[in-house]
Amino acid sequence: MLPRIVVYKTLPSDVLASLREQAQVELIDPAAFASRDAFSAALAHAFSEADGAIGASVKITPAMLEGAKRLRVLSTISVGVDHFDVPDLTRRGIVLTHTPDILTESTADTVFALILATARRVVELAQWVRAGHWRGSIGEAQYGLEVHGKTIGIIGLGRIGGAVARRAALGFDMRVLYTNRHANDAAEQAYGARRVPFAQLLAEADFVCLQVPLTHETQRLIGANELASMKRSAILINASRGAVVDEAALVDALANGTIAGAGLDVFEHEPLSADSPLLQMHHVVALPHIGSATHETRHAMACAAAQNLIEALAGRLARNIANPGVLAR
């Protein structure tokens, strides 16, 4: 008997076809529902009949799993697992799988796109040209800030932070500072990265890059005090999760010139509202959560997540488990 699975994100057709060969598939398309609540209710109902599920970007609450008596595996097409209550899944004996590594390089590329776009004012000046303002040779009003040779401070030097450090040190001759709970010896040796106290990183970095997971410990890690202790010329880059930053405090800091700019791929509430004050600020580059969003990487993530799901349902998965404690139960 094939396992029953719920698919709640549009998958590439080859990945869906492969899943259909190995499981009975129920599709729940978020776009087909008028509200998030209606979608969540449909998903909770589908979970009650399923052995496993695959999807992304949807908050899965304990309440949605109350009737899910046979559910054994949830497979997320992401590395971040902040949209799940991980201890609750472990208590229920549900394996949570994710897709680390595959998206590391494309997300680090996005971080560097934000660094360059903010420092060199790429988006703002491209719009300026489009608007017909380029009528003579440019002057100081169009100058940006240097990137190469500057100091980058990476808060969370793990897989993606390490790939950012490599680009910074080897590609842009930057000095790399970082904070982590544990030292990253490999990055220290390969890129000369230096682990420093949080306050020192904030005070010395020209680019403060957030790459920690969102947890109770990292929520609102950057607030008014932290922004005030950064250089006035510093730029904040966030490609981790929006809630790592107190967004209202960031808006104030940008409006008051406390920091020089921000490159943001993630926000407290996504999609970002069109009337967000961040979108009125010329020194902000806002992207629609595109960290890993290339054709190649998104396809590889979907393949990996589908494979995680099938292998975990068969009891064969030994990697990519976000709650390994579940196996010890």
Which spans of this chain sit near ligand NAP (rule: CB under 6 A)?
A: 79-80, 100, 103, 107, 156-161, 180-182, 211-215, 217-218, 239-241, 265-266, 289, 291-292
Q: Catalytic: 289?
A: yes
**Which of residues 71 and 96 has its CB atom nearest to ligand NAP in the complex?**
96
Residue 170 backbone dihedrals phi, psi, to 5 degrees: -85, -30
Q: How many residues would you count in the chain?
A: 329
Within 10 angstroms of residue 43's Cβ, the number of other Cβ atoms is 22
**Which of residues 149 and 325 has its CB atom nearest to ligand NAP in the complex?**
325
CB of 180 to ligand NAP, least distance (A): 4
Q: What's the CA gap between 75 and 229, in Å, rounded?
A: 40
CB of 286 to ligand NAP, least distance (A): 12
**Which of residues 211 and 258 has its CB atom nearest to ligand NAP in the complex?**
211
Tell me the C-alpha to C-alpha distance, in Å, between residue 68 and each of 45, 61, 94: 8, 12, 10
Contact 110, 287 (CB under 8 A): yes
The one catalytic residue among 72, 121, 167, 289: 289
List the structure tokens of 145.
């800030």
The one catalytic residue among 270, 282, 296, 319: 270
Of 48, 56, 46, the C-alpha closest to 25 is 46
List the structure tokens of 132.
């017909």
**Which of residues 110 and 151 has its CB atom nearest to ligand NAP in the complex?**
110
Q: What's the CA gap between 321 and 95, in Å, rounded?
A: 7
**Which of residues 104 and 258 has its CB atom nearest to ligand NAP in the complex?**
104
E strands, the chain, in order? 4-7, 24-27, 52-55, 73-76, 95-97, 151-155, 175-179, 194-195, 207-210, 235-238, 261-264, 284-286
The one catalytic residue among 72, 167, 241, 247: 241
CB of 182 to ligand NAP, least distance (A): 4
List the structure tokens of 316.
């064969």
Q: Catalytic: 241?
A: yes
**Which of residues 287 and 312 has its CB atom nearest to ligand NAP in the complex?**
287
CB of 47 to ligand NAP, least distance (A): 24
Residue 144 backbone dihedrals phi, psi, to 5 degrees: -115, -160
CB of 237 to ligand NAP, least distance (A): 10
Q: What's the CA gap between 292 and 305, in Å, rounded?
A: 14
Q: What's the CA gap between 266 and 313, in Å, rounded?
A: 32
Burial profile 279-309: b = 16 or more Cβ within 10 angstroms, e = fewer: eebeebbbbebebbbbeebbebbbbbbbbbb
CB of 95 to ligand NAP, least distance (A): 18
CB of 240 to ligand NAP, least distance (A): 5
**Which of residues 57 and 229 has its CB atom nearest to ligand NAP in the complex?**
57
User: Catalytic residue positions?
Assistant: 241, 270, 289
